[in-house]
Amino acid sequence: MEIVNVIGAGLAGSEAALQLAKRGIKVNLYEMRPKKATGAHKTDKFAEFVCSNSLGASDCSNASGLLKKEMELLGGELIKIAWGCSVPAGNALAIDRELFPQTVTDKIENNPLINVIKEEVTEIPEGYVILASGPLTSESLANSIK
């Protein structure tokens, strides 16, 4: 199998890279930080929460809690990490803002099937690509997507 290029190491890109690697697929994970800042991120860590540290309700009687349970049942890597990095938040799942991204970053950087490339992607590369740059996509890549 060829290498899959994952653009963006936020929540979606980090999960995608870990899921591919879990299945024996090699990954090039591109993250533009710290070389290019977003204005919202404070660190160079992967899966950094830039707003609230809450993932919403944890009770399965509502949609948010049910989604988390489904992620667990389907083998989601980040939801396992989130529970391990949780902080008291009533009936919600909230994470420690420093521990969660550090744990995700460590897990990715220590995976031999994931090659981390810290540079901005300005054009969609050839081959298999998961574009997970999210709302903080750089202007260059956004123009390429257009």
Q: Are 130 and 5 in contact (CB under 8 A)?
A: yes
Q: What is the rounded distance in angstroms from the CA atom of residue 127 to the CA atom of residue 49?
A: 30
Give the residue-averaged pLDDT of 102-114: 98
Between 35 and 3, the more confident residue is: 3
Comparing CA positions, the residue from 23, 41, 19, 25 lying closest to residue 101 is 41
Q: Are 89 and 54 in contact (CB under 8 A)?
A: yes
Q: Are 6 and 16 in contact (CB under 8 A)?
A: yes
Angle of the 11-22 helix axis to the 77-84 helix axis, nearest 10: 110
Give the residue-averaged pLDDT of 102-125: 96
- Under DSSP, the state recorded for 101 is H
Q: What percent of the chain shows pLDDT beyond 90?
A: 70
Comparing CA positions, the residue from 96, 91, 121, 104 lying closest to residue 8 is 121
Measure the N-to-C terminal CA separation of the chain; round to a whole number of Å.
Answer: 29
Q: What percent of the chain shows pLDDT beyond 70?
A: 94
Would you state the structure tokens that stand for residue 118, as one six-digit string? 């810290």
Non-local CB neighbours of 9 within 8 Å, separated by 6+ positions: 17, 29, 30, 31, 46, 47, 108, 116
Predicted confidence (pLDDT) per residue in 50-94, tens digit: 777 888 999 999 999 999 999 999 999 999 999 999 999 999 999
pLDDT at residue 11 tops 90:
yes
pLDDT of residue 26: 98
Model's pTM, two decimal places? 0.92
Under the banding of pLDDT at 50, 70 and 90, the label for residue 34 is: low
